[in-house]
Chain A
Amino acid sequence: MIGRGTGAFRPFASGGGRTIAAILGTFALIFGLSAALSVIAIDRSRGRAAVVQVADRQRTLAERYVESILLVQSDHQADPAGLAMTLRASASALLDGGTAPAVPGDDDETKLPRAHGAVLRGQLAQEKRLVEDLTRSGAAVLAHRPLSSIALSADERLHIADPIERVRVLAALTSNVSLNAARTIASDDDQNISDLITMQAALGAGGLLASLLLAWALVAATRRRTSHFRSLVNSSTDLVAVLGAGGCRYASRSFITLVGRPEADLLRDGFERLIHDDDRASVASAQSTGQPHELVFRMRDRHGAWRHLEAHITDLRSDRHVAGVVVNARDITERVRLEGEVSLQTERDKFGGQLIEALEMADEESAAYDVVQRAMSEISPATPMELLLSDSSRAHLKRVAISASAGAPQCPVESPFSCAAVRRGSAVVFESSEALNACPKLRGRESGPCSAACVPVGFMGRALGVLHVTAAEGAPPSALAVEQLTLLATQAGARIGTVRAFERSQLQAATDGLTGLPNRRTTQTHLRGLLKGGHDFALALADLDEFKKLNDKHGHEAGDRALRLFAQVCQSVLRDHDVVARWGGEEFVLVLPELERQGALLVLERIRERLAESHVGSHPRFTASFGLTDSTQAASIEQLLQIADTALYDAKAAGRDRIVVGVPPLSEPITLADGPGTDASPRDYATRARRRPAFHSAADEEEPGPNGIDVG
């Protein structure tokens, strides 16, 4: 049915009144019609009674007329003419309406209506003609005129000679026809009544049918409205319930779908049972007082999870059709979750922001470790945590930070690449140390079985170490905690990596790549600092002998090894605050604070000796020449260097493998004698000497030459 779906959708139309009015109107109409019909019928019957009476009277009058003729003929008193007049007038009145005259002693004048109906009118017309024939024949008899002259008008054929007989037959015909007419009138009356009854019955039936149709229409309209309304309620995602004194009285289909239970489980106290314990009081309050108007409560859904419902309460307790409060609720679980996430994100961002700021302020690794420790307590004070970082060799892991409040989980991992998280490059969470796929390093710890999270720490794709956390078995750190740990690992890794890189680059700028010694620029700065500070120091330039030959003969590898060996020898002899630096090529500079030439001479001598001892295996032997001076000899670094350089030149010229103490250009060069007097603290150097006594002058050597000391 196409028309069905196109009707107006009016769930709240206040219809029905018009239909009821139509039903009442129909009843009134039927009743009115019925009453009117009855009145008309009764009225007509009342008239009919007079007509029947007059019609019936004609019989008597016709017979009385014959009688009166006979009486007159036998000289008795009678009035045939009067009777004839009454007969004619009555016949005329019966047919066409009018006044039927009075019959003295019997009737008064009677007013008659015009006759209706072909049969009756036919009969009355014939009666009228017969009356005419009768009265004219009667009059002729009384006047002794021959009856043959009288034309008969009613189709009767009288073959009767005797006038009286003739009149008598006419009277009999008149009487018979009058009887017929009276019968017809009476039967018409019967028909009328029967028609009336039929009509009344038809009206009643029609009225009943109309009322039934209207009632059906009313029921259909109500049903349609109910259905519209039901469809609104049922298809709505809004959750609707009615809570009354006895509990839930109605729950919409959406509610039933939400909780995934049959409707019966929601009704009465079933609704309340599904509400979260903490929210039950507020719902109960709304149920009993209609307050508050707005509330949020949690309800267990079909999966057993809590759904957050935001409800609007409409108090309809005084409405006897509802007798409760109407709860219009919306599922806002998703919104609550998002809000929670946003606030969590805010919290996270805050933590992240603070962490980054704190790490930025850490300009050394140790400061970064401190930040990590404090961040650990921030993330979870009761969870044991530790940060294991590799040293510069990247082969060993060192525990550099532990949770101040909960201690270290003590992971036995030793090198970065024996850690599963480091190998994988992403955070790993272990539910239980006893699980088959758990990291073996979690098993057998003193604290017993545990869960753990391991987050690799790296910088620029290079593994630095791991952030390790343990918790109770089966209850690993939450996703949030892991996220924060990851953030911590990332930021700390970045910072520590940056600090390390910075330190390394600073070192690289200040040192010589081959030997690891400070370079010329660093040393110059150092020297300027000493001069400026008024500190005394001894300054020596050293140069490896025959280095070019060494290179040519044994290759650059050997040359490099020689340079590194010399550097190591120097460092092994010198004190912490002494400096040996690569000056360029195979030339080195040594700065020995707080020493004068004599003291420094002994130190240099010691280096020379140590160098001679250190040649082992297949390494080609080599020696070094030194030019020495001290800060008392000149006022500028350039001058001092000039003096030292000249002394070195002299040492080379004198045959290499020796120390020459330089003198200012204007004074005589000095050659130091045996038994050196020195300012150097013997203790400082003694600690470094393993094979020989601290002071061993070249002069002690039995042979001069390579071991001799010249003063140039």
Chain B
Amino acid sequence: MPTYISWQRLGVLLAALAAVLAAGCGSAAEDGRTQVAAVVEKDFAISTPRQLPAGEVDLHVRNDGPDEHELIVARIGPRGLPMRTDGLTLDEEALERDEPGALEPGAPGGDRTLSVKLTPGRYVFFCNMAGHYMGGMHTEVVVQ
């Protein structure tokens, strides 16, 4: 099979390049840098960088399917991650103060961007569709 670059991937690359350039110019954010991080959702797993720098971060989220998935970024507070009473989903209302951003369910194969402002701390990136969190669809990211 010949080398194949999908338009979507190319778009991601171009967006990343643009973001890098913008960061290089140092004109976009007040602290001078906007970070870019790739997030990939596949089956019931989320892969992210283990660590991210604090500040503005553009998360380029790709859903590799096959299901629809959300992406919720939540800071892990002192109370941990409270579950809803159904035992299947995290209690987003309780997390709200510590939730820098979220993406609604997106179709498989989609690429989206979520801009978040992160302060140093521990964060969980997860999908809160019924059973997905419990099925392993969450990951922890440390912001420094």
Contact = CB atoms under 8 A, between A and B. Distances in A.
Interface stretch (B62-70, B91-99, B111-119): B62-70
A126 B129 contact: no
A173 B66 contact: no
Given A154-B43, A157-B45, A180 B67 contact: yes
Interface string A634-654: 000000000000000000000
A158 B87 contact: no
Contacts of A156: 43-44, 135-136
Q: What interface size band does chain B fall in?
A: 20 to 34
Contacts of B32: none
Given A119-B109, A122-B65, A122-B108, A172 B130 contact: yes
A108 interface: no
Interface string A165-183: 1001111110111001001
B59 interface: no
A171 to B, nearest CB: 8
Contact of A177 (B67, B88, B134, B136): B67
A177 B66 CA distance: 9
Contacts of B43: 126, 154-156
A125 B108 CA distance: 14
B10 to A, nearest CB: 20
B132 interface: yes
Interface string B111-144: 0000000000000000001111011100000000
A168 B67 CA distance: 19
B131 A173 contact: yes
Nearest to B108: A119
B135 A169 contact: yes
A126 B44 CA distance: 10
B87 A168 contact: yes
Interface in A398-433: none
B30 to A, nearest CB: 39
A126 B67 contact: yes
A212 interface: no
A4 interface: no
Contacts of B132: 173, 176
**Shortest 3 CB-CB distances between A and B: which pairs?**
A157-B136, A122-B66, A172-B131
A217 interface: no
A498 interface: no
Interface in B59-93: 65-68, 87-88
A165 to B, nearest CB: 7
A158 B134 contact: yes
Interface in A116-164: 119, 122-123, 125-126, 154-160
B44 A155 contact: yes
Contacts of B67: 123, 126, 176-177, 180
Contacts of A159: 136
Interface of A: 119, 122-123, 125-126, 154-160, 165, 168-173, 175-177, 180, 183
A180 B67 CA distance: 7
Nearest to A172: B131
Most buried by B among A123, A156, A171: A156
A176 B131 contact: yes
28 contacts: A119-B65, A122-B65, A122-B66, A123-B66, A123-B67, A126-B43, A154-B44, A155-B42, A155-B43, A156-B44, A156-B135, A158-B135, A158-B136, A168-B87, A168-B88, A169-B131, A169-B135, A170-B131, A172-B88, A172-B130, A173-B44, A173-B131, A173-B132, A175-B131, A176-B129, A176-B130, A177-B67, A180-B67
A49 B83 CA distance: 36
A646 to B, nearest CB: 164
B83 to A, nearest CB: 11
Contacts of A168: 87-88
Q: Is the interface of B mostly helix, strand, loop or mixed?
A: loop
Contacts of B108: 119, 122-123
Nearest to A179: B130
A157 B43 CA distance: 10
Contacts of A155: 42-45, 136
A119 B131 contact: no
Contact of B135 (A119, A123, A173, A183): A173
A168 B86 CA distance: 11
Nearest to A156: B135
Contacts of B131: 169-173, 175-176
A176 B69 CA distance: 11
Contacts of B130: 172-173, 175-176
Contacts of B129: 176
A180 B131 CA distance: 13
A155 B87 CA distance: 20
Contacts of B109: 119
Nearest to B43: A155
A154 B65 CA distance: 12
Nearest to A166: B134
A158 B109 CA distance: 25
Contacts of B65: 119, 122-123
A158 B134 CA distance: 7
A172 B66 contact: no
Contacts of A173: 44, 130-132, 135
A123 B42 CA distance: 12
Nearest to A125: B66
Most buried by A among B67, B88, B108, B132: B67
A280 to B, nearest CB: 87
A175 B129 CA distance: 11
Nearest to B135: A156
Given A119-B65, A173-B135, 20 more contacts: A122-B66, A123-B108, A126-B43, A126-B66, A154-B44, A155-B45, A155-B136, A156-B136, A157-B45, A157-B136, A160-B134, A170-B131, A171-B131, A172-B134, A173-B130, A173-B132, A176-B67, A176-B132, A180-B68, A183-B68
Contact of A169 (B42, B45, B66, B88): B88
B135 A157 contact: yes
Interface in B21-76: 42-45, 65-68
Contacts of B87: 165, 168
A358 B131 CA distance: 146
A23 B66 CA distance: 48
Contacts of A172: 88, 130-131, 134-135
Contacts of B42: 155
A123 B132 CA distance: 14
Contact of B66 (A119, A157, A160, A170): A119
B49 to A, nearest CB: 19
Contacts of B45: 155, 157
Contacts of A169: 88, 131, 134-135
Contacts of B107: 119
A173 to B, nearest CB: 4
A52 to B, nearest CB: 17
A262 B7 CA distance: 72
Nearest to B88: A172
B68 A157 contact: no
A158 B131 CA distance: 10
A130 to B, nearest CB: 9
